[in-house]
Structure 1
Amino acid sequence: MGRRRRLSFDDNLLSEVSRGARAVVVCPDIRGQQHDLDADSRLAEACGLALAIGIVVADASVIPVRQVKPGTLFGSGQVENIATACEQHEAELVVIDGALSAIQQRNLEESLRRKVIDRTGLILEIFGERAATAEGRLQVELAHLDYQQSRLVRSWTHLERQRGGFGFLGGPGETQIEADRRMIRQRMGRLRKELEQVRKTRALHRERRSRAPWPVIALVGYTNAGKSTLFNKLTGEAVMAEDLLFATLDPTMRSVRLPGVEKVILSDTVGFISDLPTQLVAAFRATLEEVTGADVIVHVRDMANPASAAQKAQVLAVLGDLGVANGEEGQGDAIPVVEAWNKTDLLTSPEHDRLIESAQLDENSVPISAVTGEGVEALLTRLDALLTAGAKVHEIVLPAASGQKIAWLHAHGEVIEDDVVDEGGEEPRRRVLVRLTPKELGRFESLVD
C-alpha cells in the first residue's frame, strides 16, 4: 500500500496562486438581499480586501443576480461573461464578494478554469497572514479549519477516481475523506481547548487591570478607519498603520498621559467589517472582549468614506452583540462612547466646515486628523473630562507610614489638602482631602499595604 497523504493544516487557501496574481473581482447584487452598504461600496471594499493580500485587481464589476443558481450562483451567460473578462485581463484568480457553497465554488472553477475564492476565504487569508500573536494564530487556524471541513470534497476530488464497490462499500476515496474530516474535528477540538485557556488567561489579566490604578481606553472602528494611525499619534509608537483593510489584527496596549490623569492604558483593537465570516466572529470574540473592560470607547470613523454612516451601523451592531453599546447614539449602559471623526484632512473645505458645525452640536463627537494632528488635543480633553466625571472630594485618614497609598492618591487624584494629624503620643496620621472618581475610589480601596 502506498503512503496515505495527510491533510496539511498549514496550507493557505491561496497557495495555488502567488502574491501579485491578477484577479477579476465580482460583486453579486442579489435581488431581495439587504445590505448596509450599496453594491458599489461593497465592490470597492472587496477590491480593498484583495489588495490587502497582495492581489492585483485587473477588473472589477457588479453583477445583478435575479435568481440564485444553486450550482453556480450566477446564470450561464453571466459565467461566460466572467470567463471572457478573465481572458481579456489575463486573470488567474476570480474573487467573489459573497459566500459560495462548496459545490458552487467547484463548479465555477471547472467552468472558468481558474482558482475561485469567496469573501470568507479571502478574509481568512488576510487574517492568517497578519495574525502575529499565538492567540491570533490559534483563532485564525480554528476559523480556517471550520471553513475547510465543508470543502473537503472539492479539495480531495482526485480521490473520487479510486471509489469502487456499491451499497455501503464506498471504497478508499470515501475512507480518505472521512479520515480527513476526523482529523479536522480532532484538531478543532484541541484548538478550542487552547483558546478556552487563553480566554481564561485574558479574563485574569482584565481582572488584574481592573484592580490596577489606571483606566483603559479602547479604540474601535471599521477597518481602515485610522485606529492604528491615531494609536501611534497618541502613544508615539510605530504600530503598523497603512492604507489597507486589516493592516493590524492583534490588539496592542500602551500607556499615555492625559491632562488630568497621570496614566491611561490605550488599546488598539481589530477593525470591524461588514459580513464578517461567522467563523471569525466566533473565533475573535475573545479578542473583542477586551472592549468590555474599557472605561471609555473611542469609535474612530472614516468621515472621508461615503459609506461612513453604514460603517458606523456595523460597528454599533458588533458593540451591541458584546453588550457594551446600544441604540443609535452608541451609548452603553456603563461605557461611554466618543466618536473620533477621522480623516478630516481628506475632506474638501465645504465638507470640513460642515463637519465642524455638526460636531459643535454633539459633545461626544470630535473631528480629528490622525495624520496631521488636527483635533487630537480636543479629543484628549474630552476623554479626560469623561474619565474624571463624577469625581468627589473624599477625606481619607491614613497612618503616616502608609507611603504607598499616600503616593497613589497624589498620583491619581486631585489632592486638595495633605496634613499631619496630631493625636498626642499615638502614631502620626495623615489626613488627605482628595478628589476621586467612584472607580478610582474603588481602586484605592483595593490597594494592599
Structure 2
Amino acid sequence: MLEPLRDVRSYRLPAEVVDPLRRGLPEVAVQTIAAITMEVPAYAEPFAGELGHKIERAVQAALGTFLNLVSRPGTDPGTPLAAALEAAYALGRGEARSGRSLDALLAAYRVGARVAWRELAAISVGTGQPAGTIADFAELVFAYIDELSAASVAGHADELATSGRIRLRHLQQLAQALVAGEPAHVLQAAAERADWTPPQTLTAVLLPERAARGLIDLLDPRTLPLAGALPDLPGMAVLLVPDPQGASRAHLTRLLTGHNAVIGPARPWLLAQGSVDRAIRVHRLHTPAGGAVVDTEDHLTELVVSADPEALADLRERALAPLAGERGTAAAKLVETLRSWLVHQGRREDVAAELFVHPQTVRYRMARLRELYGEKLKDPGWVLALTIALAVPVTGD
C-alpha cells in the first residue's frame, strides 16, 4: 500500500541543502515558465510580454516560499504556506475569469512540478547531496504542488460558481425587463450585462413552473426563463425562446406536448412583451388542459373580436335583437344555426353535418330566421355584424 505524501508543513531540510537551491531559483523559474509555455498551449499567449515577466516572478516567489517553508527552524510557529495558498487560490479565480479551463491550470501545475523538481534535483546532485535527501526533497516538492493545485482548483470552482450566480441574476433581470416592456436602450444594456447574444426574435411560452424547469435544458441555450412574474397566473412561468419559427416552431410544439402550454407569436427580441401579452390573453380564453399545447396563431380571430369585451357585448345585443322574443331553447338553436349558416356561406348540407341535424331542420330554422330578420340577412353590413358578433361563442348560446 502506498504511503501518503509527507506533510510539507512539518518537514525540514538543512541549510546546506537549501542554500544552493535558493541561489538557483531564478534559472529554475525561467525553465519552468518555458516548459509550461511549450507544453500547455492555453498559456503561450499570457506568458508573452510584460505579463510573462510578472508570472515568472510569481513562479519564483512560489518556489522561494517552498524553500522558506522547508528550511524554517523547528521552533518557528509561523507558516509561509498560508500566503502561497492564498496566491494559488487567487490564481484559480483569475483563470476562471479569463475563461481558461481547469484542465489547462492543472496541466501547468503538473509540468511546473516536473520541471522544477528536475532543475532543483540537478542542483542538489551537483552539490553532492545523498540520494536519501534528494528523494525526501522530491516528495516535498510534489506535496507542495498538490497543496497549491488544490487551492487553485478551489479558487477556480468558487469563481465559476460566483460568476454563474451573477450571470443568472443578470439573465433574470433581462427577462423581467423584456416582460415589462422596458425601452430598447435599457434592454440592450441588460443584455450586455448578462453576456447574452440577442436572437432575431423571441417567442413567449407560458406553462406551469414545474414543466418549465424540466424543459429548459432541451431548448436553445439562450432561452430566458422567468417564474413568478405573472401575479394573475400563480404557478405559471414564462420561457422566452429564441427564433422558434417554421419547422422549429413545430419542434417546439412537440417538446411542449403534455405540459399545458401556450405558445405566443415570434416577435423581434426588443418587443418580446407583445408575445408574452398575447400568450396571456389566449391562456385566459383557452386555458390548456390534459397536456394540450395552445398556439396563439390558431386564435387570431377570437383575439381580435374579444379585444374590447364591452363593444362585443353591445354588438351581440344589437345583432341578436330580432331574436329577443324567442324562448330560451329555441333562441339558442336559432343562434347556433345562424352561426353555422354564416360560416358555411349558406350551404345547407354542410350546416346540417356540423349541427348533426337533418337538412330539413336547417331549412325550417332558416325560414324562421328570415321571418325575424327580413331583408337584413341580405344586407352585407348586417351579415358582417352578425359574423363578428357570433365569431366567439358565449356560454348560454
Instruction: Give the shorter-chain TM-score range.
Output: under 0.3
| Structure (1/2) with the larger strand percentage | 1
TM-score (norm 1): 0.25
Looking at CA atoms only, which structure, 1 or 2, has the larger radius of gyration? Answer: 2
